[in-house]
Amino acid sequence: MEKQYKVIVGLGSCGIAAGGLKVMEAIKAKQATTPVTVSVDETGCMGMCYKEVLVEIVNPDGKSYIYGNVTPDKVDRLFAEHIGNGQPITEWVVQGCDLKTSEDSFFDKQERIVLRRCGKINPESLDEAIAMDAYKAIGKAIKTMTPEQVIEEVLASGLRGRGGAGFPTGMKWKFANASKGSKKYIICNADEGDPGAFMDRSVLEGDPHAVLEGMMIAGYAIGADEAYIYARAEYPIAIKRLKIAIKAAEERGLLGKNVLGTNFNFKIKIKEGAGAFVCGEETALISSIEGKRGMPRIRPPFPAQSGLFGKPTNINNVETFANVAYIILNGAGSYNKYGTEKSKGTKVFALAGKIARGGLVEVPMGIALRDIIYEIGGGTSSGKPFKAVQMGGPSGGCIPAHLLDTIVDYDSVNQTGAIMGSGGMIVMDEDNCMVDIARYFLSFTQSESCGKCTFCKIGTNRMLEILTRLTTGEGREGDIELLEELSDQIRRNALCGLGQTAPNPVLTTLKYFRHEYEAHIKDKKCPAKQCRPLIKYVILEDKCIGCTACSRVCPVKAISGEPKKAHKIDSSLCTKCGACKEKCRFSAIEID
């Protein structure tokens, strides 16, 4: 039998952004001229976004090697040495079946359930998904289990909603199942809007079938025959692959009428959202699908009783649905063996910010934050001391370095003042100003407020005005107390989760970094040296040799001095762009 190699290119959004399409072009061009039989395929995000473009080569004997940071000019050598001579290029390998690499620790503490097929299948190939057990669980459910048995299995698994609130998934299904009505709906919330979050997008791009199958099982469990995926239009690759997956499943009899030859019917539609963060709230999301402005409404009634078009509706997010088929196929025990007493299973996180290994990871509940950030994430990308991690996005909070041994479960994270959220983790080092971080997240929620309730729309605006004053040197005594008072009022009186959680970044930074707020107010100083109105650039006379490099790059001619003599910076002209400090080779410029 002829030897055949398989080359797989990572073409999730991260891979494409890093140049994956050009790498694919180069590989296909080389494929046409190589004497060895080579098949070329694509896959979604493998998780190692920091090493994109990723290319996997599978040998004829099945041994696999993943190469990182691949560029078009590396393709010739890959074909010549690995495919031509059967010799992997070890210095480029980031993961190999019989090789130890410096990147192995990225995967060592991960447990992949949601991501079980991401990076392993072509997301546009139904056959590849089926070869890895896709749609077996829905067959088991509708042919051998009652809806009530499905719900009990999900309840026994301990799966809680992965969208942020952490409500027991089986309990949510139980309420919808008990609601009276001949028409019910399933909704998948894919309106992922947190800055730094890309979990749902990567799952949809890498394994859309996991989400579709989970929705079908939920539909069978509650008695629904129609579903919507609410995905933001900024996710074109995810939407494209969802459409391909839905069409392929329908053509194969896995979706639509008489699923797998049974009486179960299930139709899935895609609704593209316009990117309003508030539409992540379930009642606002429902309004948007109905063609109305996306604004929350008072509950009760809850969607399980009166949701989409007034009918009983169950809403879960992408990650929640992606867990379901695994649970039904393998049993609740295979899932709840991971985690803690009240937080079972695994959790997907997007590592972003100043992290050495930014990417997508899936870890068992109960793992320590320190293990995620240092052993999986490799610590800070700058090499400077870790300062804090923002968890839960704009609705979450900052967890400081001295709480790094906090375990990741709902209760433990909540005790810090942050929340689990949908899974974003933004890492910060000592150069981050926590007052400015709070201002950034509050500016996001303030601009995304729908304006329906006064406490959220006006209250967050007042808080943002105070934070902006602090970062521009105009802070006043009493500002901290006013921030705390406004936070309390907004949390207690806002209509929906957006307003109720908007103060969290401010409250957690006040709790753990109050001294930075006080320095901004009393000393008119930014301890992290990031707030431009509160800093100035100075040249150290004992270190400056007068090389003139700094004056030549200054865009406003604020630096003066003769060659071979110490220079000076005119603070009245300096725009604090930092070009001079970056250019200086003698560490003669510092920020005061």
3-state SS assignment for residue 336: helix
How many helical (H) and strand (E) elements, i.e. helices and strands, does the chain have? Answer: 24, 18
Residues in the chain: 592
Lookup: tokens for 204: 């949809």
The string of DSSP codes covering 529-561 is S--GGG--EEE-TTT-----HHHHH-TT--EE-
3-state SS assignment for residue 494: coil
Read off the pTM.
0.93
Lookup: tokens for 172: 């949510």
Q: What is the dihedral of CA 70, 75, 76, 81, to 10 degrees?
A: 70
CA dist., res. 194 & res. 277, Å (int): 8
φ, ψ at 551 (rounded to 5°): -65, -30
- What pLDDT, on a 0 to 100 scale, did the predictor assign at position 192? 87
Lookup: tokens for 497: 């989760």
Instruction: Indicate the residue type of 540.
Output: L
Closest CA to 498 of 334, 296, 356: 296
CA dist., res. 382 & res. 369, Å (int): 19
CA dist., res. 542 & res. 191, Å (int): 55
- What pLDDT, on a 0 to 100 scale, did the predictor assign at position 154? 98
Closest CA to 241 of 42, 27, 55, 6: 42
Q: From first to last of the 592 residues of the chain, give the pLDDT tens digit.
A: 467 999 999 999 999 999 999 999 999 999 999 988 999 999 999 999 999 999 999 999 999 999 999 999 999 999 999 999 999 999 999 999 888 998 999 999 999 999 999 999 999 999 999 999 999 999 999 999 999 999 999 999 999 999 877 899 999 999 999 999 899 999 999 998 888 889 999 999 999 999 999 999 999 999 999 999 999 999 999 999 999 999 999 999 999 999 999 999 999 999 999 888 888 889 999 999 999 999 999 889 999 999 999 999 999 999 999 999 999 999 999 999 999 999 999 999 999 999 999 999 999 999 999 999 999 999 999 999 999 999 988 889 999 999 999 999 999 999 999 988 888 999 999 999 999 999 999 999 999 888 888 999 999 999 999 999 999 999 999 999 999 999 999 999 998 888 999 999 999 999 999 999 999 999 999 999 999 999 999 999 999 999 999 999 999 999 999 999 999 999 999 999 999 999 999 999 999 8
Whose tokens are 């969802």? That residue is 242
Question: Domains in the chain, start-ordered, CATH in brackets?
Answer: 4-103 (3.40.30.10), 126-336 (3.40.50.11540), 346-429 (3.10.20.600), 434-523 (1.20.1440.230), 536-591 (3.30.70.20)
CA dist., res. 352 & res. 357, Å (int): 8
Lookup: tokens for 469: 């004053």
- Number of neighbouring beta carbons within 10 Å of residue 276: 19
Instruction: Indicate the residue type of 533.
Output: P
